[in-house]
Structure 1
C-alpha cells in the first residue's frame, strides 16, 4: 500500500510539474489530460509492438488500486469536507429550498429520464443493456460531482449567487445519487423490487441520518474548538472529525458524504466565526486547501490512467457519444429548464440556466460507482459509457465553462455577495 501511494504521489507531482511548465491548464484538468494522453500513447505503442511492456506495467499498477474503495472510503470524506468548509452558509440559506429541489427532485427525475432514454436508444447501436443497468448508469451519472464542480468554479468567474447554487446542489445531490445507486444495486443483487415505503425508508435513513449525524458531529467539534486556542490541536480535531466521522457514519449505515458536507458547513461557518482565532483560521484554511489540492490532483491522475483498462469498440464509442448527449439534455430538462422558467424564485441572473446546464460536471465519484458494479459484460458497458461522459465533462465542459459563463451572464453580472 505504501509503494502504491508513493508511486501515485510521484506521478501526480511530475504531471503537475509538466502541466505548469508546458500546458498551463488548471491543475486538475491538466494532470488528467496528460495522464490520459500518456495512457493512450501506450495503447498506440502496444498496438504497434513498440511499448516493450510499458502498457502491461501500467495495467498491472492500475489493477492493484481499488479505485472505488480509494475514492469512496478514502479521498471522498476529505474532499467533501474541504469543499464545504469554504461555502458561505449564510448566503446559501437564501437558496436553501432551490438547492434542495435541484438536489433531490432533480437527481431522481434525471435518473428516470436518462435511464429510459438510454434503454430505448442503446439497442439501436448494438449495445442492448437491461433496464436496471440503464437506471444504475443514470443514478451514478446524474449527480454532478462536487469535487469537479467546486474546483472549476474557483476560476470560472461565475456570479457569487450562481456559484453558491451550483456548489450547494453538487454537494447535496452527490449524497442523494449515492443513495439511489445503492437502492438500485440492492435490487440487482437481491432480484427483488422494493416497495415505495421501503425505498422512502432507505432514503430517509441514509440521507436524513447522514444530515443529522453531520449536525451532531459538527456541533461537538465546534464546542471543542471553541474551548481551546492552539492551532495544532484544532487542525488535528478537524482531521479526526473527517476520518473518524466518516468511518462511524458507515457503521451507522447513514450517508457519510452528506455527514461530511454538513460537518464542513458548520465548522467552516459557525466554527470559523466564533470558535477560531485568526491564527487558527489561517492554519486550518491552509491545511485543508493543501489537502484539497493534493487529493484532487491524485484523483484526476487516476481517472486519466484508468482509460487503459477499458476495451473500447466502435459501438461503445457511439454509445459514449449518445450518453453525453442524453446526459446534457437531461441536465437541461431537470435543472436548466426549471431555473429558466422559475427565474423569480431562483433569483439568479439571466443566462444562469445555460451555466447550470454546462456546469454540471461529472468526475471520479461516477467512475468509482461504475467500478463497484458486479463484474460482467454489462459492467464493462456501463464503465465505458461513464468514462466517456466524465472525460467529456472535465476536458470539454471544464475548459469552456468560463467562456460559457461570460457569454451567458455577461461580465457586468459577475458580482459578489457581501
Structure 2
C-alpha cells in the first residue's frame, strides 16, 4: 500500500510528464518510462514493483475493457477474418520462428525458447492503444491494429499456459491440450458474456449514471477475476464483456447520460492505468540494467528475431486477402508490422514463470529488453512512419 501523499505526488509527476511530452512532441509512454527510471533512482518508487499479480489483477482488466468498449461490432464483424487470422495463425507463426531462432542462434533449450516465443509473440493492447491514441489514428487501420492486439493477447495467454505446462512437466497429451483450449477460450468468452448480460440487466433498472459507471467497473474486473478463478482466459472474458456492453449498452440498457459519463470515466481510468504501467516499466528497466548488459548477446538476437517474427506473421497472411474485398493496403501492413508493440502482458507472463524453470532470470531480462526496445524505438518511430506513409 502506498501512502496518500506518495500517490498524490506520483499523479503530479504523471501530469507534468504528459504536459512535457506533448510540448516536446514525444510519445507520452516514452516520457513515463524516463520518469519512472528517474524516480527509481531517487528511491520514491521503493517498495513498488511490477508483478504478475499487479498487472493481471489491477492494471490489465480496465485497459482491455476500455478498448473493447469502443470497438463497433459491425466494423469488427466486417474485418473479422483478417483480424482473427492474424490473432491466431499469426501468433503461432511468430511463436515458432522466435522459438527456433532462440534455440539455434542463442543456444537456448527448446523449453525456454518456446516459452519465450509464446509470451513475446502477441502485440500488447496497452502499448498499441496508447501509441495509436497519441498518434490520432482512426478508421480501419486503428480497428485492425487494436482489435488484433486484443484478440492475439487471448491467443498468447492460452498458448502460454499449454507451453508452460509442457516445459515444466516435459509432456502434455493432445487430449489435455484440447480440453485446456476449450476451457480457456470457451469458458473465458462464456463468463465474459454472462457477466456482461447480468450487468446490462441491472443497468436497465436504473437511470443513475453514477451507478452505471460503477457497474462497468464491476463488469471489467468481475469478468476477468471470475474467469481467472475458474482457470479460464481472463483476457478473453473482459474482451467479450467490453464488446457486449459497448455495443448492446448503446441500445438502451445504459442511458445517454450514462454513456457520456462512462466514456469520460474510462478515458481517465485508461490514462491512469497506462501511466502506472509505464512508470513501473521505467523503474524496472533501471533495476535490470546489469542483467540486460550481462545478457546482451541473447537480447540482441531476441530483438531481431522477434521483429522478424512479426513480419512473418503480418505480410504473408495479409497477402491471402490481396484479391478480396478485405484487402489490406501495403501501407497498413507496414503499420501492422512496425506498430505491433510489446508490453505489459509479456511482462506479466514472464514475471509469473516458476522459479524452477531453466533460464528464468535470462528470460526475464531478455523480455524486459525486448519490451523496452519495442516501446521506446518502435514507439518513437511509428508516428513518423504514419506521416511518411500519409496515414496521419
Please indicate, yes or no, whether the TM-score normalized by the shorter chain is above 0.5: yes
> C-alpha offsets along residues 149-191 of structure 1, whole Å, 9 cap, x if unaligned?
11111233445112111111111111111111111222233x2
Change (3 A) 1:157 1:58: closer
Deviates more, 1:20-29 or 1:240-249: 20-29
Equivalent-residue separation in structure 2 for 1:108 and 1:159 (angstroms): 28
The equivalent residue for 2:133 is: 154
Q: Tell me the SS of whatever aligns to 2:359.
A: helix
Residue correspondence of structure 1 range 193-208 to structure 2 within 5 A: 193-208=171-186
Q: Tell me by how many angstroms 1:135 deviates.
A: 0.8
> C-alpha offsets along residues 227-275 of structure 1, whole Å, 9 cap, x if unaligned?
3211111111111122222222122221111110111011111102332
Task: Determine if the alignment matches structure 1 residue 250 to structure 2 residue 228.
Answer: yes
Equivalent-residue separation in structure 2 for 1:216 and 1:118 (angstroms): 41
Q: Tell me by how many angstroms 1:200 deviates.
A: 2.1
Answer yes or no: is the 8 Å Cα contact 1:146–1:167 preserved in 2. yes
Change (3 A) 1:369 1:10: farther
Residue correspondence of structure 1 range 311-350 to structure 2 within 5 A: 311-312=290-291, 314=293, 316-345=295-324, 346-350=326-330
Q: Tell me by how many angstroms 1:15 deviates.
A: 4.4
Change (3 A) 1:188 1:349: closer
Equivalent-residue separation in structure 2 for 1:313 and 1:247 (angstroms): 33
Answer yes or no: is the 8 Å Cα contact 1:12–1:298 preserved in 2. no
Residue correspondence of structure 1 range 248-397 to structure 2 within 5 A: 248-310=226-288, 311-312=290-291, 314=293, 316-345=295-324, 346-375=326-355, 378-397=359-378
Q: Tell me by how many angstroms 1:8 deviates.
A: 5.6
For structure 2, which runs of at least 5 residues remain unmatched after alignment? none
Q: Tell me by how many angstroms 1:342 deviates.
A: 2.6
Matched residues, number: 387
The equivalent residue for 1:227 is: 205
Equivalent-residue separation in structure 2 for 1:328 and 1:26 (angstroms): 21
Deviates more, 1:206-215 or 1:15-24: 15-24
Deviates more, 1:266-275 or 1:351-360: 266-275
The equivalent residue for 1:45 is: none
Deviates more, 1:255-264 or 1:243-252: 243-252
The equivalent residue for 1:71 is: 55
Answer yes or no: is the 8 Å Cα contact 2:39–2:45 preserved in 1. no
Equivalent-residue separation in structure 1 for 2:151 and 2:320 (angstroms): 22
Task: Determine if the alignment matches structure 1 residue 239 to structure 2 residue 217.
Answer: yes
User: Which of 116, 121, 143 does residue 105 from structure 2 map onto?
Assistant: 121
The equivalent residue for 1:185 is: 164
Equivalent-residue separation in structure 2 for 1:13 and 1:180 (angstroms): 39
Equivalent-residue separation in structure 1 for 2:286 and 2:76 (angstroms): 41
Answer yes or no: is the 8 Å Cα contact 2:204–2:252 preserved in 1. yes
Q: Tell me by how many angstroms 1:59 deviates.
A: 8.3
The equivalent residue for 1:84 is: 68
- CA RMSD, 1 decimal: 2.2
Change (3 A) 1:177 1:6: farther
Residue correspondence of structure 1 range 34-113 to structure 2 within 5 A: 34-36=35-37, 39=40, 42=41, 57=43, 61-62=47-48, 65=49, 67-113=51-97
Q: Which runs of 4+ in 1 moved over 4 A?
A: 57-60
TM-score for both structures, normalised by structure 2: 0.92
Answer yes or no: is the 8 Å Cα contact 2:302–2:366 preserved in 1. yes
For structure 1, which runs of at least 5 residues remain unmatched after alignment? 43-53, 124-128
Q: Tell me the SS of whatever aligns to 2:105.
A: helix
TM-score for both structures, normalised by structure 1: 0.86
Change (3 A) 1:167 1:291: same
